[in-house]
């Protein structure tokens, strides 16, 4: 099978100029995955709130937020975003970061793109000096939970999120980041 490392893909940081393309990719990948889960009005409300070009543009300008994109010659195929932790974490380390988004286009899944973006998120959070990386994943998303577990993330409670008028359960997961790795990356 073709693997991401041998495909004509470029992995790079997201820039302010990418706002429209990332907003578009964000809407499409979220709808691809959750289109069968939520009713259209809920989905539309969520997409409008979180994936407007304006909102993504402000996010890209925020120095506390980092984006990474996977780019093919004909456009973006995946992205990850990390930033300050907004999950209702109890007993978490003060100095944590959160993986807010990790999405790959349906046609490019299963060949390593998400794994490369996830490695970036862990490395970038470590470089930024975080003690822990948190994430929230839809509690029924067994595939993504398996991917995160394969990288050492552990289940660490639940929280509720709103998608339009629907309230849904998210599993919170966390990964302890290595102090030794942090010091060697900053040395
Ligand atoms: C989850 C998602 C980002 C993974 O991206 P991907 O490109 O398909 O994943 P990859 O092919 O890179 O596989 C990622 C890693 O998980 C491993 N993996 C894949 N399926 C697995 C499973 N069921 N159980 C355990 N590990 C698994 C792979 O071996 C790979 O490990 P490696 O990077 O250490 O080699 C992608 O499937 C996606 O966008 N899904 C829909 C949206 C979503 O669920 N996003 C997460 C929201 S929190």
Mean pLDDT of the chain: 94
CATH of span 4-186 = 3.40.630.30
Ligand 1, closest atom to CA 151? 34
**Ligand 1 centre distance from Cα of residue 114 (Å):** 6
69 pocket-lining for ligand 1 (C-beta < 6 Å): no
Strands (DSSP E) found in 62-153: 66-72, 75-84, 96-104, 132-138
139 pocket-lining for ligand 1 (C-beta < 6 Å): no
What is the pLDDT at residue 126? 97
What is the pLDDT at residue 2? 63
Tens of each residue's pLDDT in the chain, 187 residues = 567 766 799 999 999 999 999 999 999 999 999 999 999 999 999 999 999 999 999 999 999 999 999 999 999 999 999 999 999 998 888 899 999 999 999 999 999 999 999 999 999 999 999 999 999 999 999 999 999 999 999 999 999 999 999 999 999 999 999 866 665 565 4
**Closest among 50, 48, 107, 99 to 75, alpha carbons compared:** 107
Q: Taking a C-beta distance cutoff of 8 angstroms, is the pair 53, 21 a contact? A: no
What is the pLDDT at residue 159? 97
178 pocket-lining for ligand 1 (C-beta < 6 Å): no
What is the pLDDT at residue 186? 52
- Global pTM value: 0.94
Q: Taking a C-beta distance cutoff of 8 angstroms, is the pair 119, 155 a contact? A: no
Map out the domains of the chain as residue ranges: 4-186
Q: For residues 23 and 27, what is the distance between their CA atoms, to the nearest angstrom?
A: 6
Q: For residues 41 and 124, what is the distance between their CA atoms, to the nearest angstrom?
A: 36
Strand partners, 103: 79
Residue whose tokens read 């994109």 = 69
Cβ count near 121 (within 10 Å): 24
What is the pLDDT at residue 39? 96
Residue 129 is classified by DSSP as: T
**Ligand 1 centre distance from Cα of residue 186 (Å):** 28
Ligand 1, closest atom to CA 113? 7
């Amino acid at each position: 099978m073709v693997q991401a490392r041998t495909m004509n893909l470029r992995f790079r940081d997201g820039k302010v100029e990418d706002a429209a393309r990332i907003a578009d990719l964000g809407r499409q990948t979220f709808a691809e995955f959750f289109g069968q889960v939520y009713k259209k009005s809920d989905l539309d409300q969520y997409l409008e709130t979180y994936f407007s070009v304006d909102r993504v543009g402000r996010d890209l300008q925020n120095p506390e937020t980092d984006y990474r994109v996977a780019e093919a010659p004909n456009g973006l195929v995946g992205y990850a975003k990390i930033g300050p932790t907004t999950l209702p974490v109890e007993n978490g380390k003060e100095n944590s970061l959160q993986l807010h988004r990790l999405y790959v286009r349906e046609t490019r899944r299963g060949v390593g793109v998400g794994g490369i973006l996830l490695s970036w998120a862990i490395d970038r959070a470590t470089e930024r000096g975080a003690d822990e990386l948190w994430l929230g994943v839809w509690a029924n998303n067994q595939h993504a939970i398996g991917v995160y577990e394969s990288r050492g993330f552990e289940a660490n409670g639940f929280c509720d999120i709103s998608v339009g008028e629907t309230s849904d359960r998210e599993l919170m997961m966390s990964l302890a980041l290595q102090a030794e790795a942090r010091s060697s990356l900053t040395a």
